[in-house]
Amino acid sequence: GENVEQHPSTLSVQEGDSAVIKCTYSDSASNYFPWYKQELGKRPQLIIDIRSNVGEKKDQRIAVTLNKTAKHFSLHITETQPEDSAVYFCAASWGGGTSYGKLTFGQGTILTVHP
Amino acid sequence: NAGVMQNPRHLVRRRGQEARLRCSPMKGHSHVYWYRQLPEEGLKFMVYLQKENIIDESGMPKERFSAEFPKEGPSILRIQQVVRGDSAAYFCASSPRSGRNEQYFGPGTRLTVT
């Protein structure tokens, strides 16, 4: 089955700096890679996703890049703000057999943005 | 358009009791996934259902856990004879169709076993 590794586990930045979180996956058949933001006690919220036929996607201050050859993808947040502080999870979805759509999550990154 | 609904939001059960967690997907969504999040850990897949069918239950413990998604009504995750190790947040997510499509999460049910 799929295995997703996420680094770093904690990340502390100053307001206005950039933050980068990296994930690697094991199954080359994975073709969908979402990122979720989870605030304390809240639901995971989908913030951006990328599909395997695209190398990069951007949405305002958030961007995701995908390297299929190396099997890794990254989340980039620019001009960070204190409200970006949360736990961020990457995930991979394997489109095969009966597991179609099932998400395998990374371990999470606790991002703290200091004012 | 209402989002994914889950109830109850908090559930306290004594060891040996049964827990029933409900999930109503977003309107127009017919695919439901259940995930479990242990304290300070990531989300782990449990089961994937479509209306009246369990498609993949590979992440669900073989004993005490069951799930259903009837033709009418919400999806239900049932845990029989709960133990302390079942204490966790249980999230469901819905998707309009399987495969490479986004999943939207409900607010979760936080189960505490005393």
Helical residues (DSSP H) of chain B, grouped into ranges: none
User: Distance between the two ends of chain B, CA-based, in angstroms?
Assistant: 37
Q: Which of B31 and A99 is assigned the larger pLDDT?
A: B31
Q: Quick check: B102 and A34 CB within 8 A?
A: yes
Give the tens place of pLDDT for each residue, A73-89: 999 999 999 999 999 99
Indicate the average pLDDT of chain A.
93
For residue A48, what are its two tokens? Answer: 């951006």
| Contact present, A19 and A77 (Cβ < 8 Å) | yes
> Above 80 in pLDDT, residue A108?
yes
Nearest to A42 by CA among B95, B6, B25: B6
Q: Which residues, given as ranges, of chain B have pLDDT below 70?
A: 1, 98-100
Give the tens place of pLDDT for each residue, A5-34: 999 999 999 999 999 999 999 998 898 999
> Above 80 in pLDDT, residue A49?
yes
User: In this structure, which amino acid lies at residue A40?
Assistant: L
Q: Quick check: A89 and B42 CB within 8 A?
A: yes
The percentage of residues in chain A with a pLDDT greater than 70, rounded to a whole number, is: 95
- Give residue A98's pLDDT: 58
Compare all CA atoms of chain A with the CA of B96 and give the residue at the minimum distance.
A101
Q: Quick check: B107 and A93 CB within 8 A?
A: no
User: In this structure, which amino acid lies at residue A101?
Assistant: G
